[in-house]
Structure 1
Amino acid sequence: MVDKSQKMDTTVKDKIYQIIARQLGIDLGGLKPEMELISDLNIAPLDLVDLIAFLEEQFKMEIPAEEVKKLKTLGDLEILIDEKVNEI
């Protein structure tokens, strides 16, 4: 059972990274959890809103605006989406 859970986490992470790499036009291999969304990935605040909306559609979940404001790193985004996906 633990292995299945870990696989789910990896699948969610991989999908997030693929979406971000495609949306931002950057190399998938260069993405790291510690990267800051705004400074390292150069995501403008409005683009972050669009990216979050796209991720919400892809994962069929919602992220409240107050939670989006707390996001600093790619790892933060990954953890939040994983939690939302696993709430279902």
Structure 2
Amino acid sequence: LTGICGETEGQEHEHIPQAVGQYFNAVTFPPSASYSSREEHNKLEEVRTMAKLKNPGIVQYNYAWIEKPPIGWQVQADYDMIKSVGAS
């Protein structure tokens, strides 16, 4: 996970398994953070722009993050959830 202004490339965040869903400890960083790629920078700039929109006809956009979970981390959790609701 990376905060909206994250400077956490390579930094690990703790995964906290819960009975329902998945939870992570995350960190928020100041807007002066650096970016790992131009694409990531552009996406975060878009988020900042959307967060500035204030209009009764627009749903307020408050938070965003970048997730970079380990490959396959969700597979077992999905399997267990599907099994618990009786789907096959």
- TM-score > 0.5 by shorter chain: no
TM-score by length of 1: 0.27
The structure that has the greater radius of gyration is 2
- Structure with a larger share of its residues in helix: 1
- Structure with a larger share of its residues in strand: 2
TM-score by length of 2: 0.27
Q: Looking at both structures, which has the greater relative contact order when contacts are Cα pairs under 8 Å and sequence separation is at least 6? A: 1
